[in-house]
Amino acid sequence: MSKPYSRFAAWRAQHAAACRSSLLRLLRRPFSSLLSLCVMAIALALPLALAWSLLQLDRMAETVQASRAINVFFLPEVGVEEAKAIGAGLNGDARVAKLTLKTPEQGLAEFRQSSELAKAVSLLGKNPLPCVLVIEPADADAMPLVQRLQALPKVEFVQYDGVWQQRLNAWMALGQRLLLLLGALFALGAVLAVANNVRLDIAARELEISVLQQLGAGDAYIRRPFLYSGALLGLLAGVLALALLMVSARYIQPTILELIGNYGGGFRFSPMPLAFPAAILAFAVLLGITGAWFAAGHHLRQTRPVDL
């Protein structure tokens, strides 16, 4: 057997033994381990739920942003030819990217296809819908164009969803900042939960650690089992957090879809990205290792033997 292979085999055996002993020590303290696991899982699940909600809101925001049209509703007495003449005066405006006239007949046909009130409208005997100009603005800021359209003659109402888009973007920016803040706070809570669990393990093995230090064992050797304990706690907490997120999503999705359907919406929840669970598990393991590193490092600095 070659010397490099012997070193690798010894290194692998040490890590396997450290991982096995860490798992056994977690099982010997089921209550404290389960308590730390639940605290860490909840600390991970709450930011995950907020991130998932922001992902769905971002999809809704894309739907709003995809429709930036300005709808100009004329008075009922305005005929098609008169509406065309008014629209022709807007063709030279550089702020207008596209202009389309929707006649009352076209509007009624669309209304019958998309509305449950189509039968009620047919009982009126005449078409109550006015001519509508549908305008696609060329600029991102369409408010100057909206103000000009509102000043046009025989215009009853100008509908522009850009204001709601700006409000939605502002709420999305607030949600992202809130996600970062809560994520940092809950990540700190997860680190502290692991650190407390590792500290209890260190307290139970204080004599053993002291003997190892006197025999010349390095900090890396002593710290290794505790790092595995933190990694195992982080991995299990990540799995539990993902399970909580999926169960919560399945529980709340039907109610939200029913609510959106009552308003005529066709929104569907986007599936979780494939890389999302792997990233969460890796982040949870990193948090566990970080908490264990701080707890073990603090103890080793306090108890390091001093040469006389």
- Mind listing the pLDDT tens digit for each residue in 85-133? 888 888 778 788 888 888 888 877 777 776 555 566 666 667 777 888 8
Average pLDDT across the chain, whole number: 76
pLDDT band with cut points at 50, 70 and 90 for residue 294:
confident
Q: Decide if 127 contacts 108 (C-beta within 8 A).
A: yes
CA separation for the pair 50, 178 (Å, rounded): 9
CA separation for the pair 274, 2 (Å, rounded): 42
Q: Is residue 11 part of a domain?
A: no
pLDDT of residue 51: 79
- Give the contacts of 88 (CB within 8 A, at least 6 positions apart): none
Predicted confidence (pLDDT) per residue in 259-282, tens digit: 656 555 555 666 667 778 888 888
Q: Is residue 203 part of a domain?
A: yes
Q: Is residue 9 part of a domain?
A: no
Give yes or no: residues 135 and 244 share one domain.
no
Encoded tokens for 211: 């003997």
Compute the average pLDDT of residues 196-208.
77
User: 50 exposed, middle or buried (CB, 10 Å; 0-12, 13-18, 19+)?
Assistant: middle
Phi, psi values for residue 192, rounded to 5°: -65, -35
Whether pLDDT at 286 is above 80 = yes
Lowest mean pLDDT among 63-77, 169-183, 239-253, 261-275: 261-275
Give yes or no: residues 146 and 207 share one domain.
no
Give yes or no: residues 181 and 298 share one domain.
yes
Compute the average pLDDT of residues 285-297.
86
pLDDT of residue 97: 81
State the distance between the two ends of the chain, measured CA to CA, in whole angstroms: 41
The neighbouring-strand residues paired with 71 are: 134, 159
pLDDT band with cut points at 50, 70 and 90 for residue 307:
very low
Whether pLDDT at 5 is above 60 = no
Give yes or no: residues 180 and 238 share one domain.
yes
CA separation for the pair 110, 150 (Å, rounded): 25
Q: Which is more confident, 39 or 306?
A: 39
Q: Is residue 14 part of a domain?
A: no
Q: Which is more confident, 71 or 10?
A: 71
As for how many domains the chain has, the answer is 2
CA separation for the pair 45, 142 (Å, rounded): 40
The neighbouring-strand residues paired with 98 are: 136
Q: Which is more confident, 290 or 262?
A: 290
User: What CATH number has the domain bearing residue 149?
Assistant: 3.30.70.3040
CA separation for the pair 259, 263 (Å, rounded): 7
- Give the contacts of 35 (CB within 8 A, at least 6 positions apart): none
Query: What percent of the chain has pLDDT above 70?
Result: 77
Predicted confidence (pLDDT) per residue in 20-66, tens digit: 776 777 777 777 778 878 888 888 888 888 777 777 777 666 655 54
CA separation for the pair 48, 276 (Å, rounded): 10
CA separation for the pair 225, 46 (Å, rounded): 29
Give the domain range for residue 149.
68-160
Q: Is residue 185 part of a domain?
A: yes
Give yes or no: residues 207 and 120 share one domain.
no
CA distances from residue 92 to 88, 89, 288 in whole angstroms, order as listed? 8, 7, 64
Ramachandran assignment for 9, one of left (phi > 0), alpha (psi -120 to 50 degrees), beta (any other) = alpha
Q: Is residue 2 part of a domain?
A: no
Encoded tokens for 190: 């997860």
pTM above 0.75, yes or no: no
| Degrees to nearest 5, angle at CA 151 with 147 and 154 | 135
Predicted confidence (pLDDT) per residue in 142-168, tens digit: 778 878 888 888 888 888 866 677 777
Question: End of a domain among 119, 137, 160?
Answer: 160
Q: Which amino acid is at 178?
A: L
Q: How far is CA 18 from the centre of its chain?
A: 36
pLDDT band with cut points at 50, 70 and 90 for residue 308:
very low
